[in-house]
């Protein structure tokens, strides 16, 4: 795995040399800032009313009304942001032909995949870190519970990892970046939507689909509920799609 | 015309019976050749002959359908990483990361090829000096001219001091001055490194290479030194003539034509019609046609007898003129 490091550094550099990381980061911060602000204003409005209405005051909960919705919003935003970060990873190399040089250097396929995966997840984490400014303001102003903050971020990291591995897979399918992004969006939104099936009817099949979907697992984490099976589901997704990506890189050897 | 490969010691690249199929398309069928240590071998053939496929197999980018290849004693299928460590490869059209600076890119390659951290800068410095790209060290590769880009392509192949260099069409798309410079650079590697370079330009091999392998339609047609290959072809022009008339008289008339060396009857076609094989020093088609027609004999066919190798050469020469 020694050679994952130079690949990682190269990918990081190219993220910050191109405008994409900045544009995606700025858009992310703007949108999640707006959602956060809207929730916070609504909450403070209700708080004022709570002074005159003790029944309402009992319902007021900073974590449930501001923090958990923030994580849900960022979670959905992740589905849109990550495909834009992953689309170039392999598609660009295939288009430019640089993949031929990269894979004829003494680099294992796994090292190339790992380097790219880690670089992309690092950029995503950096964007999350900048976005943590919003919930931090609440930590200073109010007293949210620490647990849900921690599990919420854990959920975002796992969801991000899953999205990056799916994006990496899609990017190795094609040499067209737009196509890679569209495939990633589609797969992520479908997986997310699978979670709704169980609300319509409940059978072993729909329960299985719900387990595959990241939505329920992510919701639990954003509410502060840690479930091992949920975390395992995320890790399985990540491992599965990284594995598929490596298989695809190898498959070029049969297709030519 | 296909020769057996010579067995010998000190072979850096050994290719045995390599075949590659892409679905139904046969890209290589039974290619065998070898390159001695320190030798510059030219891989000559028209576009689509299988040069790039062979090089991609040797560099481990794609596997062969069957056959074996060894580089520096390591089998490409069994020890691909060991092979990759010993090869410097420049693919056709030199795909490079346009957003990276020249020096930055070479440092990246050095790290991948396992050049130790303390030696990286000086190693890269020497290579940039040798390839004449020091003055563009900080420029993004995407902003370089074609000539500089090609030099960066060769430079990245030299990083890590590999024993074997594989260069796919190293002079394609360059202007004549740049072509000469790149050829000089490649020649300077001779003796020190084993070089396999591909080209579809005939004069390129005679200028640059110690030995040449001619490949067409996935098959090796010949391998020899450029000089003896040229000698084999020089002066030989074979014509096939189908004519109707008295045999003896026709043969005599043909022998009288200036430049004709030998005339043989090759096929009897019934009646007075027959096929003749004419060997001449130069193109005598005009004279042959006139002689036959003037005597009132029937002229049915007149065409050059192109053996495979010559056909390829004709194609190669024409392409050079067209370029």
Give pLDDT tens digits for A52-68. 777 777 777 888 888 88
**What is the Cα–Cα distance from A46 to B20, expressed in whole angstroms?**
72
Cβ-defined contact of B97 to A14 (cutoff 8 Å) = yes
Cβ-defined contact of A13 to B100 (cutoff 8 Å) = yes
- Per-residue pLDDT, averaged over A7-13, amounts to 95
pLDDT digit string, tens, across residues A87-113? 999 999 999 999 999 999 999 999 999
Place of tokens 């795909």: B95
**What is the Cα–Cα distance from B232 to B210, expressed in whole angstroms?**
17
A256 falls within a domain: no
Whole-model pTM: value is: 0.82
pLDDT digit string, tens, across residues B14-49? 999 999 998 888 899 999 999 999 999 999 888 888
**What is the Cα–Cα distance from A179 to B216, expressed in whole angstroms?**
37
Contact B140, B99 (CB under 8 A): yes
Domain ranges of chain B: 11-232, 235-311
> Which pLDDT score, from 0 to 100, does residue B214 have?
87
- Percent pLDDT > 90 in chain B is 43
**What is the Cα–Cα distance from A145 to A129, expressed in whole angstroms?**
19
CA atoms B217, B220, B226, B228: torsion sign: negative
Mean pLDDT score across all residues of chain B = 85
CATH code: domain B11-232 is 3.40.50.300
Q: Which residues pair with B66 in a beta bridge?
A: B19
A179 falls within a domain: yes
Distances (CA, A) of B180 to A137, B100, B171, B174, B198: 66, 27, 9, 9, 16
Q: Is A13 on the interface with B (CB under 8 A)?
A: yes
Distances (CA, A) of B171 to A67, B25, B198: 62, 28, 10
Backbone phi, then psi, for B34, in 5-degree steps? -145, 155
> Which pLDDT score, from 0 to 100, does residue B31 have?
92
Looking at chain B from residue 90 to 119, which residues have their Cβ under 8 Å from any Cβ of chain A? 91, 93, 95-100, 104, 108-109, 111-114
DSSP string, A140-159: HHS---HHHHHHHHHHHHHH
A218 falls within a domain: yes
Whether residue B308 has pLDDT greater than 60: no
Place of tokens 């891989």: B43
User: Of the candidates A168, A169, A159, which has an alpha carbon nearest to the alpha carbon of residue A189?
Assistant: A159
A219 falls within a domain: yes
Which residues, 6 or more positions from B50, have their beta carbon under 8 angstroms from its beta carbon? B20, B27, B28, B31, B215, B217, B218, B219
**What is the Cα–Cα distance from A177 to A83, expressed in whole angstroms?**
10
> Which pLDDT score, from 0 to 100, does residue B316 have?
61
Cβ-defined contact of A104 to B59 (cutoff 8 Å) = yes
Least confident of A237-251, B6-20, B133-147, B309-323: B309-323
Which residues, 6 or more positions from A200, have their beta carbon under 8 angstroms from its beta carbon? A206
Min distance A98 CA to chain B CA atoms (Å): 5
Whether residue B6 has pLDDT greater than 70: no
Closest B-chain CA to A2: B112
Contact list in A for residue B152 (CB cut-off 8 A) is: none
Cβ-defined contact of B81 to A106 (cutoff 8 Å) = yes
- Per-residue pLDDT, averaged over A224-231, amounts to 90
* Interface probe, candidates A106, A111, A249, A254, chain B, greatest B C-beta count within 10 A: A106
- Per-residue pLDDT, averaged over A162-181, amounts to 96
Cβ-defined contact of A252 to B62 (cutoff 8 Å) = yes
For domain B235-311, give its CATH number from 2.130.10.10, 3.30.70.3190, 1.10.490.10, 3.40.50.720: 3.30.70.3190
For residue A33, what are the domain limits? 4-251
Whether residue B7 has pLDDT greater than 50: no
Q: Is B34 on the interface with A (CB under 8 A)?
A: no
User: Of the candidates B164, B33, B34, B140, which has an alpha carbon nearest to the alpha carbon of residue B89?
Assistant: B164
Give the confidence band of A180 by pLDDT, cuts at 50, 70, 90. very high
What beta strand segments (E) does A42-153 contain?
A: none
Which residues, 6 or more positions from B298, have their beta carbon under 8 angstroms from its beta carbon? B243, B244, B245, B273, B292
Q: Is A16 on the interface with B (CB under 8 A)?
A: no
Distances (CA, A) of B110 to A3, A4, A11: 11, 14, 16
Give the confidence band of A230 by pLDDT, cuts at 50, 70, 90. very high
Answer yes or no: is the ipTM higher than 0.90: no
Contact list in B for residue A119 (CB cut-off 8 A) is: none
User: Do the strands B237-244 and B74-75 form a parallel or antiparallel pair, or are they unpaired?
Assistant: unpaired
Contact B165, B189 (CB under 8 A): yes
B309-B315-B317-B318 Cα dihedral, nearest 10 degrees: 160
**What is the Cα–Cα distance from B168 to B90, expressed in whole angstroms?**
6
Q: Is A253 on the interface with B (CB under 8 A)?
A: yes
- Per-residue pLDDT, averaged over B286-304, amounts to 88
Q: Tokens representing B21?
A: 């199929």
Closest A-chain CA to B79: A106
**Domain count within chain A:** 1
**What is the Cα–Cα distance from A177 to A161, expressed in whole angstroms?**
20
Contact list in A for residue B112 (CB cut-off 8 A) is: 3, 6-7, 105-107
Min distance A94 CA to chain B CA atoms (Å): 10
CA atoms B255, B260, B266, B271: torsion sign: negative
- Percent pLDDT > 70 in chain B is 89
- Per-residue pLDDT, averaged over B195-200, amounts to 90
Q: Is A105 on the interface with B (CB under 8 A)?
A: yes
Min distance A123 CA to chain B CA atoms (Å): 18
What's the helix, strand, coil split of chain B in %, to 5? 40, 30, 30
Q: Tokens representing B235?
A: 């002066």
Cβ-defined contact of A6 to B108 (cutoff 8 Å) = yes
Whether residue A71 has pLDDT greater than 70: yes
Q: Tokens representing B125?
A: 């410095």
Closest A-chain CA to B65: A254
Give the confidence band of B306 by pLDDT, cuts at 50, 70, 90. low
* Interface probe, candidates B25, B61, B89, chain A, greatest A C-beta count within 10 A: B61
Cβ-defined contact of A104 to B87 (cutoff 8 Å) = yes
Contact B312, B45 (CB under 8 A): yes
């Amino acid at each position: 795995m020694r050679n994952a490091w130079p690949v990682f550094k190269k990918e990081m550099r190219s993220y910050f040399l191109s405008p994409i990381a900045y544009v995606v980061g700025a858009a992310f911060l703007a949108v999640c800032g707006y959602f956060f602000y809207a929730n916070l204003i609504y909450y403070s409005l209700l708080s004022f009313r709570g002074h005159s209405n003790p029944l309402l005051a009992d319902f007021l909960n900073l974590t449930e009304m501001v923090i958990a919705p923030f994580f849900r919003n960022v979670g959905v935003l992740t589905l849109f942001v990550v495909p834009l970060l992953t689309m170039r990873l392999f598609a660009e190399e295939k288009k430019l032909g640089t993949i031929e040089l990269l894979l004829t250097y003494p680099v294992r396929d796994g090292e190339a995949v790992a380097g790219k995966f880690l670089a992309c997840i690092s950029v995503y984490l950096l964007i999350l870190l900048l976005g943590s400014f919003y919930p931090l303001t609440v930590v200073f102003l109010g007293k949210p519970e620490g647990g849900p903050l921690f599990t919420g971020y854990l959920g975002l990291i796992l969801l991000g990892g899953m999205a990056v591995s799916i994006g990496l897979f899609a990017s190795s399918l094609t040499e067209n970046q737009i196509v890679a992004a569209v495939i990633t969006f589609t797969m992520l939104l479908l997986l997310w939507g699978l979670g709704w099936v169980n609300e319509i009817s409940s059978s072993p099949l729909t329960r299985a689909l719900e387990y595959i979907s990241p939505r329920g697992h992510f919701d639990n984490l954003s509410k502060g509920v840690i479930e091992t099976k949920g975390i395992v589901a995320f890790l399985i997704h990540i491992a599965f799609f990284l594995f598929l990506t490596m298989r695809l890189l190898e498959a070029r050897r049969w297709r030519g | 015309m296909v020769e057996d490969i010579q067995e010998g010691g000190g072979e850096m690249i050994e290719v045995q019976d390599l075949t590659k199929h892409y679905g139904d398309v046969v890209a290589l069928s039974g290619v065998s050749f070898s390159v001695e240590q320190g030798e510059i071998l030219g891989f000559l053939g028209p576009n689509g002959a299988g040069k790039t496929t062979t090089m991609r197999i040797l560099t481990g980018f794609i596997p062969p359908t069957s056959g074996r290849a060894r580089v520096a004693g390591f089998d490409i299928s069994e020890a691909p990483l060991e092979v990759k460590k010993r090869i410097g490869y420049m693919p056709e059209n030199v795909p490079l990361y346009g957003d990276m600076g020249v020096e930055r890119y070479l440092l990246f390659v050095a790290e991948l090829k396992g050049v130790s951290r303390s030696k990286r800068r000086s190693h890269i410095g020497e290579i940039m000096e040798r390839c004449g790209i020091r003055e563009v060290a900080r420029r993004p590769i995407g902003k370089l001219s074609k000539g500089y880009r090609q030099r960066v392509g060769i430079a990245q192949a030299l990083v890590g001091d590999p024993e074997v260099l594989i260069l796919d069409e190293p002079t394609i798309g360059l202007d004549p001055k740049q072509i000469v410079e790149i050829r000089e650079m490649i020649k300077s590697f001779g003796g020190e490194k084993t070089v396999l370079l591909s080209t579809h330009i005939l004069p390129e091999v005679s200028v640059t290479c110690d030995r040449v392998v001619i490949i067409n339609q996935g098959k090796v047609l010949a391998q020899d030194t450029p000089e003896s290959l040229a000698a084999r072809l020089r002066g030989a022009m074979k014509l096939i003539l189908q004519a109707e008339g008295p045999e003896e008289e026709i043969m005599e008339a043909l022998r009288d034509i200036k430049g004709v060396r030998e005339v043989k009857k090759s096929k009897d076609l019934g009646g007075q019609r027959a096929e003749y094989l004419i060997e001449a020093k130069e193109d005598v088609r005009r004279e042959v046609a006139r002689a036959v027609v003037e005597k009132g004999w029937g002229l049915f066919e007149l065409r050059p007898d192109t053996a495979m190798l010559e056909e390829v050469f004709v194609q190669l020469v024409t392409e050079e003129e067209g370029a």
